[in-house]
Amino acid sequence: MVTQSHVILNIALLSKREKPFLHFYAFIGAVLPDLPMFIFFAVETFILRTPQRELWGSRYFMEAWQTFFDLFNAIPLILIVLGIGYYLLNSERIVVFAWSMLLHCGFDFLTHHDDGHHHFFPLSDFVFESPISYWDRDHYAGIVAPIERLVMLAASIYLFRRLKTRIARWALVIINVLFLGSYLLFFLR
């Protein structure tokens, strides 16, 4: 799934109408597993000036980058954060943050074919190769991507009423419009 889908779906699943401040923690937990990817892209593209074909064909799969990605997608480490938040600190904020990260990892686990993470790092080097992909047409992205968009739209409709401010509602609308536009450009051209 793309980062925007993770954000909207996780906020919809984890937020509470009477506690809108939890949206922020669900947001951070949804984005954090993808943050290393944004850093990777920025470093390789703008600092090292790596051509895009090399970036995604070989650099992405380098051990150092993969370890960096895995640290933020490691379910055992996230479970430790969840345990600390729940049992030691009794912090609803940390619990929502950790659950959001776990949801992100779970959806990625199911929608990455040959670009998945070591989700059980540091306990295992196992990488699950899902039969489906959210982006790779050779692995049913033509079916998965529209379903992702529909789920995101349904979560957005549900979430729209729960958002308290106009800026949050406008942000949700803009994200959906941009997301639909990217879908049309990438999949339907």
Is residue 18 classed as helix, strand or coil in its secondary structure?
coil
pTM greater than 0.85 (yes/no): yes
Residues facing residue 19 across a β-bridge? 16
Residues facing residue 171 across a β-bridge? none
Task: Yes or no: say if 133 and 140 are a contact pair by the CB < 8 Å rule.
Answer: yes
Handedness of CA 15, 106, 61, 81 (dihedral sign): positive
Q: Tens digit of pLDDT per residue, the chain (189 long)? A: 999 999 999 999 998 888 888 999 999 999 999 999 999 999 999 999 999 999 999 999 999 999 999 999 999 999 999 999 999 999 999 999 999 999 999 999 999 998 899 999 999 999 999 999 998 999 999 899 999 999 999 999 999 988 888 999 999 999 999 888 887 877 666
Tokens coding 41? 């892209």
Q: Would you kindly state where each structural domain of the chain is located, as residue ranges?
A: 3-187
Burial of 33 (C-beta count, 10 Å sphere; 0-12/13-18/19+):
buried
